[in-house]
Amino acid sequence: MFLLPNSGYVEDMELILAVDLAGGLVVHGKSGMRAGYRPLTWGLAPSADPEAYLSALAPRYLYIADLESLEGRAPQDDLVRRCAAMVERCYLDRGCRSPAECAAVPGVTPVVGTETAAKTIEDLAAYRGGYLSIDVKGGRVLPWGIKPSEMLRRASAFSFEGCILLNISDVGTERGLDREDLEALRACYPGRLLYGGGVAGTDDIHLLADAGFDGAIVATAVHRGTVPIEWLRRGRSC
């Protein structure tokens, strides 16, 4: 790959395995249609049991979405703790609705999702640390309907360690990414920025690194074989 002199290429961009947990199992997410999620038992998955699944895939970094907690049911905190202990770093979105809920599981990096965390954008100022997940559906940020670029610019005023740009509409679709869009979004936020949703393969990983993103959250592309499992185990591309 040839890099332009002013490229924002991130050589050690993190590669993070996404795991959606529902009913104590790993489920396969697609486009945010959670009612249709089913246990993930295909591709590289030997089992939908989370610990067996993680033992087989052996990722370095992990992103967990606790779908039970996200939808207002009992959180799967004990299971999450066991999964987090199997990796070097675990990002956890458990649908935090207050800063206190973000501290419920020690040893993880809490993810504060715009979908659930606050009634107004200004209310996000109450959170300290963790990552802000900018949850995007249909090109707009949930629940406020603003553009992702605007949300990224406003996020600079808050006290998060970084942001995750999560394109829920593209999760599980392998739709692929657009260089110009990525570069425009990256320019809106000066801090650490991760991306998830629609990553189709190694070309998209390189696009994200070249655009200056600090991490990519992937799952479906790993099971399809378009992102090498060895990259997930190293936690970075070759």
Give me the mean pLDDT over the 55-60 stretch: 97
- Residue 2 confidence (pLDDT): 33
CATH of the domain at 215: 3.20.20.70
- Residue 38 confidence (pLDDT): 84
Does residue 22 lie within any of the structural domains? yes
Give me the mean pLDDT over the 204-223 stretch: 96
Cα distances from 103 to residues 29, 39, 126, 148, in angstroms, run 26, 28, 13, 27
Please state the pTM of the whole predicted model: 0.91
Does residue 5 lie within any of the structural domains? no
Does residue 47 lie within any of the structural domains? yes
Does residue 3 lie within any of the structural domains? no
Q: Which of 32-41, 61-70, 134-143, 174-183 has the lowest mean pLDDT?
A: 32-41
DSSP 208: H
Q: What percent of the chain has pLDDT over 90?
A: 82
Confirm if 217 and 18 have CB atoms less than 8 A apart.
yes
Does residue 177 lie within any of the structural domains? yes
Does residue 195 lie within any of the structural domains? yes
Q: Concatenated DSSP letters for 26-77? A: EEE--TT-GGG-EE--STT-S-SSHHHHHHHH--SEEEEEEHHHHTTS---H
Number of residues that this document lists for the chain = 238
Give me the mean pLDDT over the 167-173 stretch: 77
Does residue 9 lie within any of the structural domains? no
Query: What is the number of domains present in the chain?
Result: 1
pLDDT, tens only, 93-129: 999 999 999 989 999 999 999 999 999 999 999 999 9
Q: How far apart are CA 217 and CA 199, in angstroms?
A: 8
Domain that holds residue 170: 14-234
Does residue 27 lie within any of the structural domains? yes
